[in-house]
Structure 1
Amino acid sequence: MARVLKVSGPLDFAAVREEAGVPDEFPAAVLAEADQVAADPPLPEHDATDLPLVTIDPPGARDLDQAVHLTRTAGGYRVSYAIADVGAFVALGGALDAEARRRGQTVYCPDGRTPLHPPQLSEGAASLLPGQLRPAALWTIDLDADAEVTAVDLRRARVRSRAQLDYASVGQQVPPELELLPEIGRLLEARARERGAIELGTPSQEVEPGPDGGWTVVFRGQSDVEGWNAQISLLTGRCAARLMLDGGVGVLRTLPPADPGAVEALRRLAPGLGVDWPAGAGPGEVIAGLDPAQPRHATFLDAAASLLRGAAYTAFAGPTPAQPGHGGVGAPYAHVTAPLRRLVDRFGTEVCLALAAGQRPGADLLAALPELPGLMAASDRRTHEVDRAVIDLVEATLLADRTGEVFDAVVLDAEDRRSTVVLTDLAVQARCDGRLTPGERVRVRLTTADPATRTVRFAAAGG
């Protein structure tokens, strides 16, 4: 979406991170351990350097978790997905492990990132950078002609990525290495709809560096290439969950099925927003046919987020959890594809490697699993707090001298006398006082824009 908000000059994002308790510098013992393992990277015996793997990431990324190769087979397709083998570098119980547990995940801010692991690993020896020999957890997933899984293999392997690609360039012209990505991606999307998966695809607010040294806030939707690439990751996460459930041990990313009451409330909202909900269709089918660029569809998608509440990490060693599924994916699912940036993925990968080899995970690994849900919940809260505070700061700074002005907006949600609105011409989303109706186009007056408290508030202006 094209609405852009621009702010010139420096902003104190470091204060945002400090307020949220984001760890800053790495302790000396952690850096020393990272230097030691980075100097002599462990390489598995299995050689898969003949695979023409490529990575797809935002431009300039250095923490490259995944490399992919897609090929056609007699019965369908083969997905080769190499994941950075962080477990080969980070020993359980060591200084690196303890620091990663303290951090939980990489935190991204407009002025840089606070990594989960020291840069000599996350952007160096463990990253799947092009042309470099690297250890990886190599998933080989065979699909039939409809993109249903027929076989899965997982093992440690040495790999070498051929190229580092970005979403924009692949979107303009799909390179030969990825010529099957649109075909497989669309098939996986179709299977997801059949499972009842709920994939919102709503534009997100993002803060980016501006050309003049300032900052911009934009609403950014997911491109087709990003969506297809995400399907490869989701496929791998579903295969990981299946391994864990069959083996009776693991850590799942879980989300309860949509509450029937929330589904019915969304169904009642649809006609007023011009959304067609055919008889017998599930919410995932309805959502898949919407265009987030249309304000009323975006409003409906924002309301549909109520269907995806209660996400958690569920660790188990024994009986299958009472609720093992993920309502958004429409199947059991586990995080294993971003170990450079998310703590739980390293542990999930280690569990899967053991199970795929016909072994029980080691005692140290089993002992660590129960801690992961709490560690990840804490780091998720911290990251969400930083993300929201960064956007609030930029919004409040831009609008600080415009109090009293009237703007066009669309109502996203409404509760009694307080609503959430998104401005039509700027990438601003904020609370608004007044009785409003979701999906309604309204005029709102800016009543508060305070950078010190990072607060923006509107009131219904009428007219």
Structure 2
Amino acid sequence: MRRITLRPTDRVEAAGVDGTELRAAFDAVRAELDVPAEFPAEVLAEADAAAASVRLPERDATDVAFFTIDPPGSKDLDQAMCLERAGSGYRVRYAIADVPAFVAAGGAIDAEARRRGQTIYAPDRRTPLHPERIAEDAASLLPDQDRPSFVWDLRLDEDGEEVSVEVYRAMVRSRERLDYASVQQAVDAGSGGERLALLREVGERRVALEQGRGGASLPLPEQEVTVDDEGRYRLRFRPPMVVEDWNAQISLMTGMAAAEMMLHGDIGILRTMPEPDHQAVARFHRQARALGVVWPAEWLYGEFLRSLDRSDPRQLALIHEATSLFRGAGYTPFVGALPEVGMHAAVAAPYAHVTAPLRRLVDRFGLLVCEALCAGAEVPDWVREALPALPKAMASSDQRAAAVERACTDAVEAAALRHRVGEVFDAVVVDLNAHGGMVQVADPAILAPCSGRVSLGEALQVRLVEADIARRSVRFEPV
């Protein structure tokens, strides 16, 4: 398993490769995986009509100094935040795009969104969940624009623990659109001001709480596909920035609050993941011992994972092997009787997806459930009726999105290496299989099969023996 970030661009080229060849490969991936094409005319027409006549909430929160943090160039902005001190604790207001305001139940947009499930990203373009008129315009929390939203108002104590939570619909106006790199740079330089200082404080306290309850995150380096000013594709392994973790903690906190609200209200849909079974954990312990990585007896696996060093070849291999502990995630709807499995093992708490409704289908329904419960109102019948069908729709779209990312990145890897067949590269063995293993090459940033006898965690030299764009295949062998 690998984390991949694909940055869409209009120009598709790689060193020594005609852009049309890669475009053909990406088109083939979309065709093979049945990725939806353009929106039907009736969906686009409904989106235009909804944007022109949306029903706006009466509550006004446009005086709140919200801001967004997203990748550069993003237009589908789901979340905006405002952080303040409140006595010895904190107040976090988290505005989420009010997609339900633009999507009529049972309408053309609703039906198409249920078919798509989520936004799918490829290097040359994205296939959105909703028409651009909604996702990148009318519903997006763009700066200096009044937008309807669901505002999560969370009060925290001095340790960052939630004290109270309320969710309501209100008009908001984001003051500024920030990106991760500039925020990280400002924080490191001490020039980010009070709002970024608070993001750091709250983020660090939430990370400490996650560690205390036994939560785990997998610190895999992210394989990133980017394009330079001349339109050439580049691959690199990028370690996550600390600010991304702080930002993620705000979203996780909101999702945990949503899950608790649903459980108390006896209705909702949780994002669940079972605990890794005893055999998987025991196997991971054996792998750590075999690779010479000390695992203190008192540490849970989440704390151990956070301690691993990505620059150490053996520990990097162990991080990749830890993916076996993060399996079985899904969605669990319930109405009335509480679900048998209600926990997300990696979060180490009940958790629900409610913070990305522009890009993920299930969030729209979770937001409507929570808003109704918080207001003491009945959850709409059409939402209740939709809950049981959402896990299948999301599982299908999750599989498609992951397959598109893998296949497109494989094509870019093959393009970047096609003229280097026969060359030797430094690599680390990060997984084993019946044919040999998987090696991570640092330059260029490639994760690919290696045939032959290899050992887990071994640092070695490998020779490139295949790089085929059409087949999206890259293969190495030990020197």
* Cα contact 1:69–1:178 (8 A) shared by 2: no
- Residue 155 (structure 1) aligned to one of 168, 173, 179: 168
User: Deviations for 1:410-455, whole angstroms, at most 9, x for unmatched residues?
Assistant: 0001134421111132211111112222111122222222111111
- Which amino acid letter does the alignment assign opposite residue 345 of structure 1? D
Which residues of 2 match residues 245-264 of structure 1 at below 5 A? 245-264=263-282
Deviation at 1:310, TM superposition (A): 0.4
Unaligned runs of 5+ in 2: 1-12
Partner of 2:427: 409
Q: Secondary structure at the match of 1:54?
A: strand
User: Deviations for 1:219-265, whole angstroms, at most 9, x for unmatched residues?
Assistant: 12210111100000000000010011111111111100122221121
Whole-angstrom distance in 2 between the partners of 1:234 and 1:276: 30
- Residue 144 (structure 2) aligned to one of 131, 139, 146: 131
Whole-angstrom distance in 2 between the partners of 1:351 and 1:87: 12
Whole-angstrom distance in 1 between the partners of 2:249 and 2:14: 33
Partner of 1:191: 209
Deviation at 1:122, TM superposition (A): 0.3
1:319 counterpart = 2:337: yes
1:101 counterpart = 2:114: yes
Count of aligned pairs between the two proteins: 458
Whole-angstrom distance in 1 between the partners of 2:388 and 2:465: 47
Partner of 1:434: 452
Whole-angstrom distance in 1 between the partners of 2:135 and 2:434: 47
Deviation at 1:206, TM superposition (A): 2.1
Whole-angstrom distance in 1 between the partners of 2:262 and 2:309: 36
Which residues of 2 match residues 191-340 of structure 1 at below 5 A? 191-340=209-358
- Which amino acid letter does the alignment assign opposite residue 321 of structure 1? P
User: Deviations for 1:183-215, whole angstroms, at most 9, x for unmatched residues?
Assistant: 110110011011111101211212111232121
Unaligned runs of 5+ in 1: none
Partner of 1:372: 390
* Cα contact 1:6–1:217 (8 A) shared by 2: no
Runs of 4+ in 1 over 6 A off after TM superposition: none
Whole-angstrom distance in 2 between the partners of 1:290 and 1:9: 40
- Residue 130 (structure 2) aligned to one of 98, 101, 117: 117
* Cα contact 2:313–2:458 (8 A) shared by 1: no
Deviation at 1:311, TM superposition (A): 0.6
Whole-angstrom distance in 1 between the partners of 2:290 and 2:86: 47
Deviation at 1:6, TM superposition (A): 5.5
Partner of 1:452: 470
Whole-angstrom distance in 1 between the partners of 2:225 and 2:93: 33
Whole-angstrom distance in 1 between the partners of 2:114 and 2:434: 42
Partner of 2:153: 140
Q: Secondary structure at the match of 1:400?
A: helix
Deviation at 1:126, TM superposition (A): 0.2
Whole-angstrom distance in 2 between the partners of 1:185 and 1:6: 38
Deviation at 1:112, TM superposition (A): 2.1
1:395 counterpart = 2:413: yes
* Cα contact 2:236–2:443 (8 A) shared by 1: no
Partner of 2:67: 54
Q: Secondary structure at the match of 1:239?
A: helix
260-269 or 23-32, which deviates more: 260-269
Whole-angstrom distance in 2 between the partners of 1:35 and 1:417: 53
Whole-angstrom distance in 2 between the partners of 1:293 and 1:48: 46
* Cα contact 2:237–2:442 (8 A) shared by 1: no
Whole-angstrom distance in 2 between the partners of 1:103 and 1:416: 36
Whole-angstrom distance in 2 between the partners of 1:381 and 1:325: 22
User: Deviations for 1:384-428, whole angstroms, at most 9, x for unmatched residues?
Assistant: 110001111011122223333322210001134421111132211
**TM-score, normalising length from structure 2?**
0.93
26-35 or 438-447, which deviates more: 438-447
* Cα contact 2:461–2:478 (8 A) shared by 1: yes
User: Deviations for 1:42-90, whole angstroms, at most 9, x for unmatched residues?
Assistant: 2211111111000000111100000001111114111100000001111
Identity over aligned residues, as a percent?
53
